[in-house]
Amino acid sequence: MNASADSAAPAIRTRGLTKRFGGLVAVDHVDLDVPRRAVYGFLGPNGSGKSTTIRMLCGLLTPTAGEIEVLGLRIPAQAEQLRRHIGYMTQKFSLFDDLTVRENLEFMAAIQDVPRARIKQRVDELIGQYHFADRSNQLAGTMSGGQKQRLALAAAIVHAPELLFLDEPTSAVDPESRRDFWERLFELADAGTTLLVSTHYMDEAERCHGLAILDDGRLVANGSPAQLTSALDGRTLLVGAAQPRQAQHALDGQTGILSVAQIGNSLRVLCESGDDPAARVRGLLGAAGIAADVVPVHPNLEDVFVSATHARPAQAVAA
């Protein structure tokens, strides 16, 4: 089977994907489908197995069990063939500080087997698209964090990969640079690239076409942001009380309460599923002698994340 043989098939498909390190199960029977031309978010607490999963999908790490198919190729058996069709960008700047922007891109083009006759044209294209025309001869080590991030992205796509893996690529840049970066990701998706993006920023997760959440190596939620948030309808409440800290203490740790967070002078409360969560919260506050307004609010992805990573056993939301 060849890369891109079936454009209707998922870009990434795993079944029972598992990785053990001795007695530690880092990835635990993950079934995942990532559609083509999508920006797909990958969320999870530190140590949840995100990076391990990405390394297996790239063919850099051999799974203990399970099946992987990426761009129609069986991984790890066809990992060398896959290498020409994927790009990889990490949170740490991995280019050369003592080379210029152009030199970095030319070097990456050469090691990615871009034809020699095509390298100059391709590098010129990227320098224009990523706004480096006035910095093409600047040393990479002298640039700002946002500029380095743009250069790293340009280097990761110098060979025009069909699939791009990004492992927390925006963790070290300012909000404006993050917004600009995400616009570039959607430009790539519009042009036909599939992107799997590991992130811990909820505002970035909200922008994705689809999301997968890992916890303790297990897939605990999977679907579009709208699907995942709508599954929590009625379970997220806004509590207004004269003394919100007292109200928080009255709710923390109580049966049926997953989380309580102060937002300004109000509390955002996430409840387990069950009959009338608002009545439950009013009852707990009333028993503590606290008067409060309790109203349902629309769930957000932070609520989804908290609910998914607290669930035992995990239940995936159908995509």
The tens digit of pLDDT for each residue in 257-301 reads 999 999 999 999 999 988 899 999 999 999 999 999 999 999 999
pLDDT tens figures, 123-150: 999 999 999 999 999 999 999 988 999 9
Q: What is the pLDDT of residue 311?
A: 55
Phi and psi torsions of 306, nearest 5°:
-65, -45
Task: Say if residue 308's pLDDT is above 80.
Answer: yes
Average the pLDDT over 180-186 and give the result.
Answer: 92
43, 44, 47, 51: CA torsion to nearest 10? -20
Q: Is the dihedral of CA 82, 14, 230, 307 positive or negative?
A: negative
Q: Which segments of 69-144 does DSSP mark as H helices, in order?
A: 79-83, 101-111, 116-129
- Do residues 241 and 291 touch, judged by C-beta distance below 8 A? yes
pLDDT of res. 316: 37
| 34 φ/ψ angles, rounded to the nearest 5 degrees | -115, 115
Domains of the chain are: 12-228 (3.40.50.300), 234-297 (3.30.70.100)
Calpha distance 150→156 (Å, rounded): 10
237 contacts 271 by C-beta, under 8 angstroms: yes
Buried b (16+ CB within 10 A) or exposed e, 280-297: bbbebbeeeebebebeee
Higher pLDDT, 53 or 319: 53
Buried b (16+ CB within 10 A) or exposed e, 302-315: bbbbbbbbebeebe
Rounded to two decimals, the pTM is 0.87
Task: DSSP letter for 259, please.
Answer: E
Q: Which residues contact 272 (CB under 8 A, 6 or more apart)?
A: 235, 256, 257, 258
Label the pairing between strands 73-75 and 218-223. unpaired
Tens of pLDDT, residue by residue over 66-115, are 999 999 999 999 999 999 999 999 877 788 999 999 999 999 999 999 99
CA dist., res. 291 & res. 174, Å (int): 41
Cβ neighbourhood burial of 50 (10 Å; 0-12, 13-18, 19+): buried
Q: What is the per-residue pLDDT for 319?
A: 33
Report the SS3 class of residue 20: strand
- List the beta bridge partners of residue 70: 12, 73
